[in-house]
Amino acid sequence: MNPHTIKVACSNCNLRELCMPLGLSNEELDLIDDLVAARRTVKRGSLLFRNGEKFTSLYAIRTGFFKTCVASEDGRDQVTGFQMAGEVIGLDGIVNDHHTCDAVALEDAEVCIMPFDRIEELSRAVNSLQRHVHKIMSREIVREHGVMLLLGSMRAEERLATFLLNLVQRLHARGFSQSELVLRMTREEIGSYLGLKLETVSRTFSRFSEEGIVEVKQRHVRILNTEALKDIVNPTSGAANA
């Protein structure tokens, strides 16, 4: 769990365009390279940070998959999000200098550590970095609004269809298939995130499979009919709201 003291060059990272601003000059890239203090490996099932821990850094996920969760009143974990390579995690700590959730690795992962005081300092020199941080924060707000809509007004089929479309869209931006994915999370974790019982998630997957919309083999999912998934979410126009 200790940080690796490896010099990290953002300018040579193939995920840079996903977690760093575009169009930086060579001088700005040199400054950004100094932003990342180290890399850290997090084993599957281990915590990157926990609820109540002092906030010091944002983390750019280099490899692997995470879930964020909070303990509900009855002691169970409520999943609040899933994060993948190329995404930034830890924004929850900015508000009051302490993290408000646990971040757990769903598989062996590696993150780039970006001290937040250094981000603030560099943002004054590199305007595009400040805009990029604001964009990331805005995206998180939009995501949370989307989850509220998901949990407040959608049927089980709509929730799972939206989840699958969003996941495959994010993976495709990272060069993966538009129709095939491996679920890094359990169906129980999907249910926790979508506000559904485990049995409902399994039943909905089975229904999608019977209708020829998806093919499911354990955690491997192949989307056979993307338009049908989109129609479930938005039957009027067929456009996904993911």
The 10s digit of each residue's pLDDT in 23-70 is: 666 677 677 667 776 889 999 999 999 999 999 999 989 999 999 999
pTM across the whole model? 0.82
AA identity, residue 195:
G
Closest by Cα among 71, 61, 17, 65 to 36: 61
Which 3 state secondary structure label does DSSP give 82?
strand
How far, in Å, CA of 48 to CA of 41, rounded?
9
Range 118-137 average pLDDT? 79
Range 91-110 average pLDDT? 94
Rounded to the nearest 10°, the torsion over CA 214, 169, 105, 88 is -170
Task: Dig out the tokens for 103 from the structure.
Answer: 């971040």
Range 139-165 average pLDDT? 82
Rounded to the nearest 10°, the torsion over CA 122, 125, 127, 129 is -20
Output the pLDDT for position 149.
72
Task: Dig out the tokens for 173 from the structure.
Answer: 């931006």
Calculate the average pLDDT of the chain. 84
CA 110 to chain centre: 14
Range 224-231 average pLDDT? 94
Output the pLDDT for position 178.
82
Contact between 200 and 156 (Cβ < 8 Å): yes
Range 235-239 average pLDDT? 54
CA 140 to chain centre: 10
142 pLDDT above the threshold of 50: yes
Asked which of 2-6, 76-80, 224-228 is least confident by mean pLDDT, the reply is: 2-6
- Find the angle CA(151)-CA(174)-CA(226) to the nearest 5 degrees: 55
Range 184-196 average pLDDT? 94
Environment class of 82 (CB within 10 Å of its CB; exposed 0-12, middle 13-18, buried 19+): buried
Range 6-35 average pLDDT? 64
